Structures are given as structure tokens and as C-alpha cells.
Amino acid sequence: MIEVRLRLRRGAFDLDVAFASEGRLVALFGRSGAGKTTIVQAIAGAARPDAGLVRVDGTVLLDTTGGIDVPVERRGIGVVFQDARLFPHMTVAGNLRFGLDRARGRSLGIGFDAVVDLLGIGRLLDRRPHALSGGERQRVALGRALLAQPRLLLMDEPLAALDGARKAEILPYVERLRDELAVPIVYVSHALEEVVRLATDVVLLAEGRVLAAGPLATVLSGADLAPIVGGLDIGTVLDCTVVRARDAHGLATLRFADGDLRVPALDLADGARVRARIPARDVALALSRPMDVSIANRLPGAVGAVVPVGDAMAKVAVDLGSTRLWALVTREAVERLALAPGVRVWAMVKAVALDGRSFGLSRPG
């Protein structure tokens, strides 16, 4: 359990946030200047807010009302930055053992060999940082932070300095940290694809305020995402189960709470849990059941809301049951189809819109 309440004013910037999470990886998501790094610094103890509370698993690290402000070195928090900040004169093994030295007698059962295996860095132990790729340096930085036996791991834009190939290299290791270690993670990012792939919970931030906070699928499927990623990029996030990973047509079937989806074949076992994001621009609407169309995914529902976007477009929420699916259509289409709350519609989703190579299909937490 992570609980954070912070108020801080620095010049023209005013931060006033509160959120709590029991998720394994909570993402602080927003544009540059939203306050993400300031929150991380306050949690770590590197920045003192004007007022606030930080509590991790029942341990109070900051309580300005009660006069509690645990020093940085005693908070037991691991931090991984955008740049790995490894010691250049030490080997990989030396950098990792430095993390062990910082544990100060704490033990969460995170051993040297286990971390090396988890992060796949056994062959790197004798190298120095200059001989590592960017992704390898970040994996070593993660290992060093973990070996300090942290009660909480903070990751501040850890992939921002990496190119696409290096990001693809390290993302599976972050997933393993989330899934296999009992260390909660606060992950800072302004990259939607990282958040969709990794987060269990999301805190949506803008201009020093929390717009929404909660489970990823709930927050990122809401209309409040539009001010951050743009009205054309809103969508729906679904946690799914693989019913069939590949059929004779090279397609997979995913099941979510209110139906099935056909997507390109997956290199996963039947029964695996995956997460898919459907961009609103890839959803079309019809008033009657579509028959002679090539689109395989056709889902019945009812209009839940119509929200204008600019002069020409509108977001239409389609309630499928417990799932709200967003479609982006023209205002002309809204008028022509008389779309309004309660109107029964069919939502059509192209299979290609769910291809993980483009839209963040991933294993959920």
C-alpha cells in the first residue's frame, strides 16, 4: 500500500496531489511539467513539500503534521533514473555489490544471484559500464537498486533515453520485476505505450493536479485522458484471456468481460492473460448488426455518452456491459445516426487495431 498526499509551491508551479495504490506498479502519467518528478523526489526525501504524507506498507516516511521526516538514507527506497548513473570505475559486479552495501542490514530476501538471473546480466559481471549498451546499463542500475533491499522502487523515466530497440529489450525485465518481486514500484512516464504495458494502477497528472487515479483499465479508458495524449488518441484498455492463440487463419481469440475479440496470432499459451488497447479512431459504429463487412470484431452495446472534440469530431462511449468502449466519429455521423445516450449500436473494431506491435498488446499485471 502506497499513500501519498503532497502540497508544494515553487515559484509559479503549484503541486497539490493525493493518491493511494495497492497495485504492484503504479504509473505517474502526464506531460512534462505535470509534477511527476517532483512527486518522486518528495517520496524519496530529496524534496521537502510544504505539507504532506508519505506512507509505504504502513511505515510513515513523511508526515509534516506529526513532524516526521525520515532522512533519505533511512527511507529504504531504491531509485532508477533516466541515466543509469553507474560507477564507471567499477565492474558490473562491483556496482551490484554497492547496492548490497547500501542495504544497511535490511533484508527482503533479494539475493545477488537471484537478481543477476532475473535481469539476465550474468555474462556482464566482469564488464565496466562503458562496455554496455544503454539497455544493459539500465538493467544493471535496476539490479543495484534492488540489491539495496528497498521497500519501494522509484523509476523516473527509466526508458526515456533509450531508442526503440533498447526499450523493447528492457521492458520484459521491468515486467518480471513487477510480477516476481514483492517490491512495489512507482513508475514515471509520459509514454502511453509504456504505461499500458506495465502499470497495474495509474495516477493521471496535469499541471500539478490528479485528474484521475485507480486501476489502469478504468483510468485509461476514461475521457479524462484526452487533455494529456490528445483527443484523437483516446481509447479503451481491456484485460483479456487468450482463448486460442492461433487458428487456421493466423488469428487469435481473446476474451474480455463482455465478449471476444479476434486479433493477429500470438506467441502465447492458451489461457495467458494479456492487455489490449483499442484506439478510439479504430472503432466504427452502426445502428444495425453489420453483416456484409470484412471487420470481424462486431460488439453490441448502447451509447453511454457523446462528447464533442473540436469542431468536427466527437467521442462516443459505447457501453458493452461492464466495459465502456470509446469510438471517435465525426459530428456529422452523430447527427446522421442520431447518436445519443441509450441508442443501441454495434461497435466494429478492426483486428489490426489490436496488433501488439503497434498498439501495446501486453501481459497485464
Dump pLDDT digits (tens) for 185-244: 999 988 888 888 889 999 999 999 999 899 888 887 765 566 666 555 567 888 899 999
Per mean pLDDT, which range of 27-41, 46-60, 102-116, 215-229 is the poorest?
215-229
Q: Looking at residues 128-154, what average pLDDT do you find?
A: 91
**CB burial readout 263-281, b (16+ within 10 A) else e:** beebebeeeeebbbbbbbb
- pLDDT at residue number 225: 64
pLDDT digits (tens, 9 = 90+) for 303-317: 999 988 889 999 999
CATH 3.90.25.10 fits 2-220, yes or no: no
pLDDT at 361 over 70: no
C-alpha cell belonging to residue 116? 543477476
| pLDDT more than 70, % of the chain | 92
Structural domain boundaries of the chain?
Answer: 2-220, 235-359
pLDDT at 334 over 50: yes
Cα(314)–Cα(144) distance, rounded to whole angstroms?
A: 48
Radius of gyration of the chain (CA): 22
- pLDDT at residue number 357: 40
Average pLDDT of the chain to the nearest whole number: 88
pLDDT at 12 over 70: yes
Residue 303: phi and psi, rounded to 5, are -65, 130
pLDDT at 345 over 50: yes
Residue 195's closest CA among 31, 1, 360?
Answer: 360
Asked whether 283 and 347 are in contact (CB, 8 A), the reply is: yes
- pLDDT at residue number 82: 83
* Alpha helical stretches, state H, 160-312: 164-180, 192-198, 216-220, 226-229
- pLDDT at residue number 21: 93
Q: Which helix H or strand E contains 217, and what residues bound it?
A: helix 216-220
- pLDDT at residue number 356: 47
pLDDT digits (tens, 9 = 90+) for 271-305: 988 888 888 889 999 999 999 999 989 999 999 99
- pTM (whole model) above 0.85: no
Cα(298)–Cα(200) distance, rounded to whole angstroms?
A: 28
In order of 100, 175, 294, 334, the CA distances from 305 in angstroms are: 53, 35, 27, 11
Per mean pLDDT, which range of 108-112, 333-337, 345-349 is the poorest?
108-112
- pLDDT at residue number 234: 63
C-alpha cell belonging to residue 235? 481509447
Structural fold of domain 235-359:
OB fold (Dihydrolipoamide Acetyltransferase, E2P) (2.40.50)
pLDDT digits (tens, 9 = 90+) for 252-266: 999 999 999 998 888
Q: Which helix H or strand E contains 334, and what residues bound it?
A: helix 331-336
